[in-house]
Amino acid sequence: MHKIKLAVFILLLGFQPVAHAESSEAVSLNNRAVRLLSAGKIDKAIGLFKFVLSQNPNYRMARENFSVALSNKGLSLIRNGDLAAGIEMLEESVKVDSTNQTTLKNLEKAKQRFAEEKS
C-alpha cells in the first residue's frame, strides 16, 4: 500500500503545471506540502494544505492532495491501534474529496473491521 500512496503523490505532483490558474506561490506551497507528506510529515503537510486552501479555496489540486494527507493520517491512526479516530479522519478525507476511490475503499474496510470488533 505504501507504493500506491507514493505513486499517488508523484501523480498529483506531476499535475501541477496544469494548475496555471493558481498563483505561483500557491503552487509552490502545495508542492512543498506534497514533499512533506512524502517525507512522512503528515501533520505538517495537513497544516500547509489547510493554509493553501484558506487562501485559494478553489485550488482543486491542493484539495485533492489535502484529502490524500487526511487519508494517510487516518491510515496511520488505524495502524497505531486507534481505529475510531482513523475512521473519523478517513471520513474527513472523503468530505474534502469524495472522488478518491482508494480512500472510499479504505473507509469501507475500516468500518467493516470496526463492526467486526464490536461483535
- 25 pLDDT above the threshold of 50: yes
Query: Across the chain, what does the average pLDDT equal?
Result: 87
C-alpha cell, 89: 479522519
Q: Kindly report, residue by residue over 78-118, the tens digit of the pLDDT.
A: 999 999 999 999 999 999 999 999 999 999 999 999 999 98
- Supply the pTM of this predicted model: 0.81
Q: Is the pLDDT of residue 8 over 80?
A: no
Whole-Å CA distances, 57 to 7, 26, 49, 115, 117: 25, 11, 10, 35, 38
Q: Give pLDDT, residue 22.
A: 78
Dist CA 12 CA 65 (whole Å): 7
Cell of 119: 461483535
State pLDDT tens for residues 35-78: 999 999 999 999 999 999 999 999 999 999 999 999 999 999 99
Is the pLDDT at 4 greater than 50? The verdict is no
Could you tell me the pLDDT band of residue 119, with boundaries at 50, 70 and 90?
Answer: confident
Distance CA 35, CA 57 (A): 21
- Largest distance between two CA atoms of the chain: 52
Which pLDDT belongs to residue 38? 96
In sequence order, the 6+-apart residues with CB closer than 8 A to the CB of 53 are: 59, 62, 63, 66
Nearest to 76 by CA among 46, 103, 42: 42
- List of residues 6+ apart from 105 with CB closer than 8 A: none
